[in-house]
Chain A
Amino acid sequence: MNGSHLQQILDRGQFAVTAEVGPPRGSNVEAVRLKAAKIKGYVDAVNVTDNQTAIVRMSSIAGCAHLVQMGLEPVMQMVTRDRNRIALQSDIMGAYSLGIRNMVCLSGDHQSFGNQPGALNVFDIDSMHLINTVKTMRDSGKDMSGFELNEAPKMFIGAAENPFADPFEYRVIRLAKKVSAGADFIQTQCVYDMKRFKDWIIQARDRGLTEKVHILAGVTPLKSARMAKYMATKVSGITIPEAIIKRMEGVTKEQAAAEGIKICLETIQELRQLKGVHGIHIMAIEWEEKVPEIVQSAGLYPRPSLK
């Protein structure tokens, strides 16, 4: 046991709820404090993104440290785009020393999607390697060179998977690779295409993966028909079925947000019925204040208390 509340909940077989907070574009952390205060108590842990969409923000590690101070449990996202293996290992040690107990290993959005597309990417190692590196540091207490660390960072290790990306026939094999590499939990890309998600989880179950790794299905409430269309067409790796876009278009602008929350709640209920889904990860993009409402309406409140 590493002191991760999220791990305790998942290991006990309870349905977990995580959310996401993006750090600010600047050194003032007040916005994070406000967002965090609103969701405190409604989620088991909070992901802090690492320069998502390749736009420079306050570091994930600092954002996580602020959450720890506020009494929330952070999940540090870490991408391999910006740091080589030396910096990554160093930051894992540093993060653990600051009380961070969960992390998610990612490759990261390509810099061409951000506002500094001229940046040089690193990708010294990939997300699979990062998972394996954290696992080695945690379980054998050694860094990538084999050097014995004075204290192992006992991280609860997360990874991402996108059941909606191609090639579909390889997705579950890759999930198996992540599990073998050391992933304890998976947070998926947001689920709108339930059919495809079900096909994926069935394949994962057939391989016995849902017994080996905790799967948290991602959900993102839609705010408007425009957002639905934007995500369906402009954001790669996300599929939104026509039926959902039609539902968002079928209501007035004023009703759209409520409809989006309704769809999100229906998705959560369906996900909870699926064997192999161990929790949800709510990515309410710039809409964190809605997380308590979603968690309550979904019947997932109160959350299990800290030991």
Chain B
Amino acid sequence: MITGEQKPLAEIKAKVKGYKKILVLGCGTCVKTCFAGGEDEVATLASALRLSFKKDGQTIKVEEQTIERQCEDEFIKEAAAKIAGVEAVVSLACGAGVQMVASRFPGVPLLPGVNTTFIGILEKPGLFTEKCLGCGNCIVDVFGGICPISRCAKKLFNGPCGGSSNGKCEVNAETECAWQLIVDKAISSGQLEKLAEYVPPKDWSASNAGGPRKLVREDHVI
């Protein structure tokens, strides 16, 4: 899933300032799962904004709506009526949803309310961790199912560096060293010597470095 984190209230408030009527638009898929932009977060943010402006002696009308996915036109359409009646939209979707809504309603200022963070997993309740960089060419099998491209601070293909200590990364003592995990896995499966093989440099052209990517499924094109 794509994870995101809601921006601090003060930052959202500063963006909203000056508008009399806004819509807080939630997204019911990824950002809902990570508690950044689903119905609950929309309601909480809307109340917080109303209260905060009221404290300042200002009134603001805050509409609320959450659609299934802001990255698909089919769902965005459902928000058209509300968007038509406001001066600006605070989107709690990821960067993809924000841009989709912005392009669909070019006349309405679109304010991002979420910082999109990473492609990751729900490791345990309340903890999401990064697992994929979307590099476009998966070779995770070489590393025993642990991706050093997304999980090593130096993206080492032939790690670990000299900063691996007691299983942790030197960059952050709370982060597991991906290469320690890779080596542990290799030892437990009796394949440590396989890690003696040189892993060649990556062809990054399939990644974002090759330019914004497109995925075409001819069989689904209408």
Q: Which residues of A contact B (CB under 8 A)?
A: 81, 85, 107-108, 110, 112-113, 121, 123-129, 132, 144, 160-162, 164-167, 169-170, 173-174, 176-177, 180-181, 189, 236-237
Please list the 9 inter-chain residue pairs (A to B) with the smallest Cβ-Cβ separation, ordered nearest first. A162-B162, A128-B158, A236-B170, A237-B162, A123-B155, A165-B162, A170-B183, A129-B201, A125-B201
Q: Which residues of B contact A (CB under 8 A)?
A: 153-167, 170-171, 177, 179-180, 183-184, 187, 192-193, 195-201, 204
Judging by beta carbons under 8 Å apart, are A167 and B184 in contact?
Answer: yes
Judging by beta carbons under 8 Å apart, are B160 and A166 in contact?
Answer: yes
Determine the chain A residues whose CB is within 8 A of the CB of B197 once the complex forms: 177
Determine the chain B residues whose CB is within 8 A of the CB of A113 once the complex forms: 171
Determine the chain B residues whose CB is within 8 A of the CB of A129 once the complex forms: 157-158, 200-201
Known: A112-B171, A166-B167. A128 touches B161 (CB 8 A): no
A172 to chain B, nearest CB (A): 10
Determine the chain B residues whose CB is within 8 A of the CB of A128 once the complex forms: 157-158, 198-199
Judging by beta carbons under 8 Å apart, are A165 and B157 in contact?
Answer: no
Determine the chain A residues whose CB is within 8 A of the CB of B183 once the complex forms: 167, 169-170
Judging by beta carbons under 8 Å apart, are B201 and A124 in contact?
Answer: yes
Q: Which of A124, A160, A166, A170 is close to B166, meaning CB atoms less than 8 Å apart?
A: A166
Judging by beta carbons under 8 Å apart, are A167 and B164 in contact?
Answer: yes
With A and B bound together, what is the CA distance between A107 and B163 in angstroms?
Answer: 11
Judging by beta carbons under 8 Å apart, are A107 and B164 in contact?
Answer: no
Determine the chain B residues whose CB is within 8 A of the CB of A177 once the complex forms: 158, 196-198
Known: A170-B195, A173-B192. A126 touches B163 (CB 8 A): no
4 A-B pairs besides A165-B163, A173-B196 with CB distance below 8 A are A124-B201, A126-B159, A127-B158, A167-B183
With A and B bound together, what is the CA distance between A218 and B190 in angstroms?
Answer: 33
Determine the chain B residues whose CB is within 8 A of the CB of A144 once the complex forms: 201
Q: Which of A81, A85, A124, A165 is close to B164, meaning CB atoms less than 8 Å apart?
A: A165
